Amino acid sequence: MASPAGLAQNADAPRAERPDGASPAALTAEERSSVVEEIAKHFETRYVSPEIGARYAQALRAASASGAYASLSDPAAFALRLTADLQAVAADRHVSVITGGMARPMMRRMGGDGSSALEEARMLADGVAYLRFSFFPNDPATADAARAFLLANADASAVIIDARTNPGGGLLVMDRLLPLFYGETTTLMRSDLRETVAREMGTPPPTLVPQTAPPGIARTDHVVAPDDGETRLRDARVLYLTSGRTGSAAEHLAMALKHTSRGTVIGETTAGAGNPGLALPVGRFSVFVPFGRAYDPATGRGWEGSGVEPDVAVPAADALRRALELAGQPADEARRLAAEVDARSPPAVGS
């Protein structure tokens, strides 16, 4: 399982779909029963809210016992029905069941393989640094590359972080970058994890500080401490770009920058996937079980189902242009630069 620094969070929770190639073998009654029971146990023991987790499990077992799944021999149709039944109990953007093995590929994507995550890191104009992440991997090489870019350009007056197509990931990248932006130790976010999962993960990293919590819950505060050696970027303007596809860990960063007043969020309201978790294999299926909830410690508000609202609301396609204007670029130059960048990696539009 991933370490606490790498809570797998992904707004694009996989949907049920038939794999390419030959039709899968039909489900047997025994397989359906086994899958339902294993998924029910995962929600009972791992879902962030013990009460809701128990309701998920009860609903699946009751449906199975009533024969509701008896006619579903097609794995894709069965996965869709399980997802629908779970969502009917309590809506959660991450909860899903699909056919095939999404668990291991997703865990690799959210874990060590970050080779394609830092899509671009360059100076767009004098004093304007730009980083675009396709997701936030728990990959030290990616985090180090992004940090090295900022250190090499620490005289920048503005830093634009483009998360318009970023569905989530983990905390490692932001843990390496945010110390450059803050001048004092600051609480960014609070997270509640199911205690059973927290025990499996072991000791949290230094950026996750344990807090008192209700029974069955492990609570931590995500804290940033100032960088000891570099201070120049503490005064840089941080501009964070979002769309309706910006999710989970990318929403975590949006909320953190917003509630600490350290960054300006520009674009669209984010996806609303606030409960981190892991994709778990269940036979020839996979189930995404959220084991945590992240929220603003000052208000107690998270973003599950609602998203993070931008400070400057513009369509995703206009977010970079607007950020460049706020960074001091003339309107015509901002438009030209934004068009050049977005031609290489179009932003999420209409999502």
List the domain boundaries for the chain.
Answer: 4-109, 114-276+291-344
111 DSSP 8-state letter: T
Residue ranges with strand state E in the chain: 9-10, 96-99, 118-125, 128-133, 158-162, 168-169, 186-194, 208-211, 217-224, 237-242, 263-267, 277-282, 285-290, 292-295, 312-313
- The pLDDT of residue 7 is above 50: no
Segment 75-86 shows an average pLDDT of 96
Q: Which two tokens stand for residue 263?
A: 């960054």
CA 40 – CA 271 distance, rounded (Å): 26
Q: Which residue has the tokens 């095939």?
A: 100
- Let me know: does 248 contact 273? Beta carbons within 8 Å: yes
Residue 115: what pLDDT? 60
Q: At what angle do helices 29-46 and 75-89 cross, to 10 degrees?
A: 30
Residue 339: what pLDDT? 96
pLDDT digits (tens, 9 = 90+) for 12-22: 444 444 445 56
Q: Which two tokens stand for residue 257?
A: 């920058």
Assign a CATH topology to domain 114-276+291-344: 2-enoyl-CoA Hydratase; Chain A, domain 1 (3.90.226)
Q: 143: number of CA atoms within 13 Å, CB side?
A: 21
User: H-helix or E-strand containing 272?
Assistant: none
| pLDDT level of residue 5 (50, 70, 90 thresholds) | very low
pLDDT digits (tens, 9 = 90+) for 222-240: 999 999 999 999 999 999 9
pLDDT digits (tens, 9 = 90+) for 299-315: 999 999 899 999 999 99
Segment 175-195 shows an average pLDDT of 96
Residue 100: what pLDDT? 79
| 217 Cβ neighbours under 8 A, 6+ residues apart | 48, 192, 193, 194, 195
Q: At what angle do helices 50-65 and 29-46 cross, to 10 degrees?
A: 170
Segment 29-54 shows an average pLDDT of 95
